[in-house]
Structures are given as structure tokens and as C-alpha cells.
Copies of this chain bind each other. A is one copy, B any other.
Amino acid sequence: MEINRTSRLPLYQQIYEILRGQLIRGKWAPGESFPTEFELIREFQVSRVTIRQVMDRLASDGFIYRQRGRGTFVAEPTLEEGLTRIISFTEDMRRRGLAAGTKVLVSTILPATDDVAIALRIKPGEEVVYLKRLRSANNEPMCIEESHLNHRLCPGILDHDFSIQPLREILESKFRIRISRALQKIHAVVSDEEMNQMLKTPNPSALLFIERTSFNDYDTPVEFLRLFFRGDRYSLYNELKD
């Protein structure tokens, strides 16, 4: 874990990426002491302001919290992160104390419909990878997920087994596509017959319906996602300020 002083990437960003990666990979347990400012100053040989810039960001991201006079500590994972960071379904369920499962229902290539084309900023009729999965938690159905990928950006992706390897991992390792941000819309809808069958919900049921467009580093839409969560089992949590 070295920083590059000749890189055009600012020092604080390099250090941020390093520490953030270590936090996500679980280098420290929640509640454990995080290195002090002066330890990080020694380790990376930068000024205190630069280290504090990094720690301010890690704190506002919710990864660490600081206590004057005591030190800095690693924060517990929160459910709120599902509304601020892009985390996988598996990770989301783990935080809720549930074991995630996946069943691929459909995986094929289709011409883009008008709404999908608009979301992906492509022409209607262009090739879209359509992936429909049933997501479960503790072996009970939890969510229907319909993914639409711009096939031009990930040709041949259908050869992979989506029930084993996470989609984002495939995009990153095989196609060098990193999802850096996403915009989403959250609604409530009534389930239809087909959904009730798949989700084992009574008729009628309410579903938490999320439409999400994910973008790569160059702000090109990569994926358009529709998520239908069981309203009786899944809620979102967050904090409002001021």
C-alpha cells in the first residue's frame, strides 16, 4: 500500500482509496481502534491536514467515528448504507442478518424497449442483455430483479453464471467497467399475479419498487435495474439532517 507522489491523483484521494478498501475488506472489526492521525502521518509521510481530509471523508461516509481525547474507531455497518452506497444484494441481506440466495429466471438478449433505451441512452431496438433473477433471504423469496445492460459495453457477458459470480464483479474483471454512481427512484406498487406466484405473496400485496440506472466512471449508463421487494419483508432506513 504505497502512495505515488508523482501521480496526478491527489494524495488524499490515494490514501482515501487505500483506507476505504481496507475498511470494506474488513481489515479492522467494527468498534476496533482505527489508526490515529499521527500514525497515519508517519505511515504515509504527509501532513496532518491531508490525513484529516481523508478521515473527514471516511467519517462522513460512515466508515469511522471519532471521539476527542479517545481516538478513532471503526463504525458498525448500518442498514442506511443501502440508501447511500451501492452495495450488493448479498451484502444488504448480510447486514439484515439474512442469508442471500439467487435463482436466474431469464438471461437473454433483447432489443431495447423505449423506456429502457431512454434510461441507457441508446436507440430503441439496440441490443440489451436482459437478466431476471429471483432473490431470496433465508430461502424465502424477497425480491424480483430485472437487469438491463447495454450489450455493446459488455459483449458476451451471457456466458457467465450469474447465480454464482456477482454481476458487478464480472463487469469489473472482464470488461473493466466500474460502477461509480447510480440514480434511483423509489415507489410503491401493487403486485400482479405472476409476481405473487414468484414471491409467494397474497393477492393483493404492496411491493417496494426501485428503478435504478447505474453509471460507469465516464458517466455512461451501463445498467438499468428494476427491483421489486416484498413490502412486508423489506424496508429502507435513513437519517435526515437538520
Q: Measuring CB to CB, which residues of chain A are less than 8 angstroms from any residue of chain B?
A: 49, 60, 83-86, 179-190, 204-209, 212, 229, 231, 234-242
Please state if B242 and A186 are interface contacts (CB–CB under 8 Å).
no
B84 touches A241 (CB 8 A): yes
Are A184 and B240 touching (Cβ within 8 A)? Answer: yes
B208 and A188 within 8 A (CB): yes
How many copies of the shown chain assemble into the complex? Answer: 2
How many angstroms between the C-alpha atoms of A188 and B187 in the bound complex? Answer: 8
CA distance A207 to B183 in the complex (A): 22
Find the B residue at minimum CB distance from A237.
B185
User: How many Å from the CB of A231 to the closest CB on chain B?
Assistant: 4
Q: Which residues of B contact A183 (CB under 8 A)?
A: 237-240
A240 touches B206 (CB 8 A): no
A196 CB to nearest B CB, Å: 12
Structural contact, A181 and B237, CB atoms closer than 8 A: no
**What is the distance, in angstroms, from A187's C-beta to the closest C-beta of chain B?**
4
Query: Nearest Cβ in chain B — how far from A76, in angstroms?
Result: 15
Do residues B189 and A239 form an inter-chain contact, with CB atoms below 8 A?
Answer: no
Known: A186-B235, A231-B188, A235-B186. A181 touches B241 (CB 8 A): yes
Given contacts A186-B237, A188-B206, A206-B231, 16 further A-B contacts (CB under 8 A): A60-B60, A83-B83, A84-B238, A84-B240, A179-B242, A181-B242, A183-B237, A183-B240, A184-B239, A185-B237, A186-B238, A187-B231, A188-B188, A188-B209, A188-B229, A206-B206
Contact A186 B189 (CB under 8 A): no
Q: Taking A60-B60, A207-B206 as contacts, is the C-beta distance between A85 and B186 under 8 angstroms?
A: no
Would you call B208 and A190 a contact (CB within 8 A)?
no
List, in ascending order, chain B residues with CB within 8 A of A234's CB: 187
A181: chain B residues within 8 A (beta carbon): 239-242
